Structure 1
Amino acid sequence: MIPLAERYHLLSVVGRGGMGTVWRAHDDMLARDVAVKEVRLPDRRTIGERRLLCRRLIEEARATAALRHPGVVDVHDIVIEDGRPWIVMELLRARSLHQVIVEGGPLRVERAARIGQCVLSVLTAAHGAGILHRDVKPSNVLLCNDGRILLTDFGLAVHMDQASEPEETLVAGIEGSPAYLSPERVLGDPGRQESDLWSLGATLYAAVEGFSPFLRSHALASMLAVLLGEYDPPVRAGRLAPVIEGLLRQDPNERMRAPEAARLLREAARPPAPPGDPRSPPWRRRLLPKPWPVRIGLMVSDPRPFLGTVPVRSSAGP
């Protein structure tokens, strides 16, 4: 195969998504392996839809490159080949949070909280740069072999200045995963910062419970559950429960804000203190047996040292 831009040799497929395929490739010029994302343009799409997909990929590259954050993949280059854009990025050795949950089951509260901290940090940086992600979900959270946690796939990202403008959509009409769309997004709102936070809450729920709170048998049922706010309260969330419930509030104006979520995530990420430790929750300390003052051969209620003799009486006299 002729290398892209006479430089990148495609080697193998790393993953496939709704908008494209990610390849492992070799950069001949810099002698290093990279990841190359190509957009897929199905024949059944109209010319307008194909142009939209290409534009989305270019916007993704720009949005990702604009963020200087350790939780965002580095974009090296963008190539136009055969009328299609190809994004060249750093090659990651990682699994998605979705894969981790499917293969290993729900995560411990502390680990899920640390993942939530990293994702929230990326969202805070993106919002500060005026960018909405609009597709936060477990499959877009990468857990790297080197310990890094990244939020990827800014393919549906939009600048806040453009969020209120009518947007061009695909024929399918649904952008993003229905089980992770906020209520206002389901109703047609392009989204706001609180919409990304709602999706983070649904992602945290999935991390500790093992499934999305709004996942139903088909997309329409999932969106209806989102609109009605119908989900089972988490049973494994522990210290994450207040964060999840706060982020999943229906009204975006009443939804938990990022600073409060960051504080609660920081507390939930700490290892639990052992029973009896002053840092442990009061309910754990109350369960411990109270120490009784014990003396040799006696158990007395008065903790002061016992002094003197004990008079003994019996039927036989003193």
Structure 2
Amino acid sequence: MPINQTYAQYSDLSVVSAMAVYFLALLLHAAESAFGRQALKREAKLAAVAAGGGGTAVAERPAPPPPRERPLPERLGRMGVALTVLGALLHLASLVLRGLATSRVPWGNMYEYISAVCLAAVVAWLVMVRRHPVRQLGAFVLTPIGIMLFIAAKLLYAEAAPVVPALRSYWIVIHVSAAVIASGAFLVAGVISLLYVVKASNEANPKRFAGLAARLPESAALDKTAYRVSVFGFPLLTFGIIAGAVWAESAWGRYWGWDPKETVAFISWVIYAAYLHSRATAGWRGTRAAWVNVAGFAATVFNLFFVNLVTTGLHSYAGV
């Protein structure tokens, strides 16, 4: 079918706009973290004065904010979340328009696939912000998402075109969509687990990562959030691998051939299975389990970039 160039151009414009909005949201979250840290320092100083000077601290304590007025860091954080929602809508529009332009699902090459993974990660992050007190992590989560989206849009960009014949199957909807959502969830979980390691290290030794750890939520909140995101992503990864095997049998006459993509996907599955098992085992909870989750995140990124762009196999559909 002919390509609708108008939709394709609007898709490109939408993804660039989404990148700009994500960047503004990142700046607001960074400002929230900076001002929040300053507020913590002021509170610590007042507590020290109160401990050493008795009534002096009462005279020096600033007046409380007017009723119903939120602290500046919270306002900045809420603005960052609002912009992230706007960016996600623009991001979704870019994928929908790319699909309408090509009359197919919008993940037929590396540019589209990474863009879809980034959108899944943003949506997963917004859901976690809604349910858990982890909004302060916005800058840390949006940074790798922004980098990946920039790489996709600037270095891996592909013109709107039909997919190669091997991908013209309804399995591209089933198999790849599961992989996209799972990869996006694991991206968020991996970043949060890495931050959990930082926080736990600081709690064990207050001199380690003192500046960074002061900006992070409590380690228990980080651990719970990373675990719940991984619990959501693991069944999708499992389903995606099974669906891929069924597609491989219909396309290539075998369910499994240890293709580089298949091999690394299986390694990722084993790592995440080990993480969920270790998280349920008392002796491996905490930092050890978090490192396993970080290893799974590293395997996911390796599979996303190195396997797709460097190795050669039956899954070499990067389009670059």
Q: Report the TM-score when normalising by structure 1.
A: 0.26
Specify which structure has the higher proportion of helix: 2
Specify which structure has the higher proportion of strand: 1
Q: Report the TM-score when normalising by structure 2.
A: 0.26
Determine which structure has greater relative contact order: mean sequence separation of CA pairs < 8 Å that are 6+ residues apart, divided by chain length: 2
Give the number of the structure whose alpha-carbon radius of gyration is greater.
1
